[in-house]
Structure 1
Amino acid sequence: MTRRYSKEEILAKAQKIAEHMSESEQVSFYKQAEAKISANRKVQVLVDQIKKYQKESVNLQHFGKTEAYHRNEALIDHLQAELDAIPVVQEFKQSLEDVNDFLQLITKLVSSRVADAKESPEDE
């Protein structure tokens, strides 16, 4: 006979899995990289500048200031390239990619198990 789990039991198991995942090497590395990003003044200044110019771009585009909009977008691209060249940012992006890959793998495993369970005949 196939064991059926209640919604509460599944959510409790999911919570335990989430706790284990948060202790994984990938997530730990991500948290460290995020802390380094937050503590890096140069990174924060560049991020703030990019946000400021992005807001300006929205306004310029809204008011049809095409030439000023393109100059602003070029400045944003330059600032973004400068930001992306900082090693701690590269480390953060890599850790984010690793965590995303890890979560995608978990999602595929769960999806696969659910699909397998749907396809297998139930015991009566």
Structure 2
Amino acid sequence: MMPTTMTDHPIIHLARQFADRLQNYAEVQRFRLAEQQVNQSETVHDLIDAIKKKQKEWVHAKHYKKMEHLKRLEQELDQLQQDLDNLPIVREYQQAQVDVNELLQTIQQVVADTVSKKIHVETGGEVLSGCGHGGPCGCKSS
């Protein structure tokens, strides 16, 4: 019997199982820990609050065309953002995020490459043209 919706499809069930298993990999666990540390950091929250406050001041200064104040606020915002970005837990979080994204992109590419060996599926790059049958359009099937 065929599934009634795509979410009922057996391959979706396998994908969910695979996603659950991914949670046990070091890259994902490192990301979750770094995310938790960032979320619990008072220093991070204080800097984010200060950035938001300065951004509101910046919008107000821009609206009222207070150019000198605007320049000073931009410098202060740059410094606050730099302070945030230079926190070790923020750098760890950002690196862990990059690592997890690379893992997920690699998994996606492996799936796309494996499927495209069996059937023609666009995976990026040059777009194929023609019907693939060698008919009136002049293309040749591969």
Q: Same fold (TM over 0.5)?
A: yes
For 1:9 and 1:98, locate their aligned partners in 2 and report how far apart those are by CA, in whole Å: 29
Moved more, 64-73 or 32-41: 64-73
Report the aligned-residue RMSD.
Answer: 2.3
State the TM-score, normalized to the length of structure 1. 0.78
What amino acid maps onto 2:47 in structure 1? Answer: L
Question: How far did 1:66 drift?
Answer: 4.2
What amino acid maps onto 1:98 in structure 2? Answer: D
Query: Rg larger in 1 or in 2?
Result: 2
For 1:66 and 1:117, locate their aligned partners in 2 and report how far apart those are by CA, in whole Å: 61
For 1:69 and 1:10, locate their aligned partners in 2 and report how far apart those are by CA, in whole Å: 55
Q: Which gives a bigger RCO, structure 1 or 2 (Cα 8 Å, sep 6+)? A: 1
Unaligned runs of 5+ in 2: 121-142
For 1:79 and 1:116, locate their aligned partners in 2 and report how far apart those are by CA, in whole Å: 50
Moved more, 40-49 or 5-14: 5-14
Question: How far did 1:52 drift?
Answer: 2.4
- The corresponding residue for 1:117 is 118
- The corresponding residue for 1:70 is 71
What amino acid maps onto 2:54 in structure 1? Answer: Y
Alignment length (residue pairs): 116
Question: How far did 1:112 drift?
Answer: 1.2
Question: How far did 1:62 drift?
Answer: 4.7
